[in-house]
Structure 1
Amino acid sequence: MQLYHHPFSVDSQKVRLALEENQIDYTSYHINPITAKNMDASFFRMNPSGKLPVFQNGSHILYNTIEILQYIERIAAVTSVGDGIKLSSREVLEWMHKIQEWNPKYFTLSHVPEKHRLYVSKFIRQVIIARMSEFPDLASAYHLRLRNEYDTEEKLKDPEVIRRSEQHLVRLLDEIETQLSNTSYLAGEEFTMADVMLIPILARLVLLRLENEYINTRPNIAEYWKMVQQRPSYKRVIGKYFDGWRRKKSLTKTWCYIHMRSLLKKY
């Protein structure tokens, strides 16, 4: 089994948490979307959308995050011993879909300083244009991705787009806060795939330094957040890259790469 992912990707974190929680071995391939590595022809041929993560098991390839998590559950159920592993209940699946409905893309980008965001966006567009020239057979797919990059910048200029994203997040967190007043975890007293879906969302808020506004103002979520950070899966998947000095190291390394490639005009 192979996973194409990156530590910065929220959906990648969801899949990696599921793999770690179910103790499933896999081969890891880092594809950094900020440095436009997802635009490399070898990856783009496999997934023309350029989105992460991509999960491959032999000839079976999955792109949808929830489908990947359910596939992982089935693998774990087949390979488990003893009482076995139960597949997600209807309640868990409802929470999974509810969380997945919120797209962190515009919310995240709106909290990145504009000059940095535009610098990265320009770099990515230059990479796509270069790949269109290098690989004519993929030109149409690259062109669609280029249009998507321009559309993203246009939407970020619209305050209504950002407002709707923030409101969606607040409604989701308020519902989760109410749920956690009755249960230890999101879908009951046991850790489930619903929690796997939620943890990266909270981690993204912390990465953006927004925990005081969105997490600490909700006591049940704040307590839950402290608890799940103690799990070995969190430490391996998220804490390893974003706790303390590691966050600065991860982001600085990426920024230096983009700056040098832009300076040398090597896209």
Structure 2
Amino acid sequence: MIRNAALAALLALAAGMAQAQTDAAPDPEELLALTFYYQQQDEASIRSELQRLQVRYPDWQPPEDLSRLTQNGPSAEIDTIFRQIGAGQFDEARATIDQTRIAFPDWQPPEEMLALLQTNEGQTLLDAALTEGDLDRALSLAGERPGLLRCDRINNAWRIAEAQQAAGLAPDALGTYRAVLGACVNPADILATLEKASAVASTEEMQGLFGQALARFPEMTQTLQPVQQRLLGSGAPGATAPAAAAATTTTTPTATT
């Protein structure tokens, strides 16, 4: 009986929460009267209808400009949200999103907006973790927010690899560089990744990385081979040992009298 009572209480609570979410704001049909009164400039009816709606939906705040009731969706609010995200005001951006949802019940934030919010906030947190030397936190953030490891943010992967190397985790750092070579396509990024990897990889491992890059980008052969020769020297494929220097004979000048 106790279990059944507890279950019933949980179900009642869930139902109450669902009802609260459903009744958070009036739907478009219920706003038709207010829209009509606004269009007629009937101020007395506007005040009366606003009072009725706010009693029924206490969490709902009508827009300051009632002309927006006839709009299909927010405009200035979206500009504000993106501006807040760009300024690093992530809590404020979330608050504006919530307020906009209430003011425009049919509106949902676009996926790209939410992804940008998550990634930009994650970038701030990742920068702090790496600055503090908290590699575990940095790796956790990168796993939670895949946008941080996109190739257009390649510096994040490089910094993580450098942090792994500094922590004595050379194989992990090498794995990070290898993953970059397998994912990114910008030639400058490929070259820079190979350069960075040379600080942690053995000659044999570097040969493998160059082989990986050349297999993906055969058109970069002429660009990669000189770098390979420079970084690997005699360990580069096709390299020959430098010829022995020719012996020279020196003579000591004789004094003249």
Q: Whose RCO is larger (CA < 8 A, sep 6+)?
A: 1
Normalized per residue, the structure richer in strand is 1
TM-score in same-fold range (> 0.5): no
TM-score by length of 1: 0.24
Work out which of the two has the higher radius of gyration on C-alpha atoms and give 1 or 2: 2
The TM-score normalised by the length of structure 2 is: 0.24
**Greater share of helix residues, 1 or 2?**
2
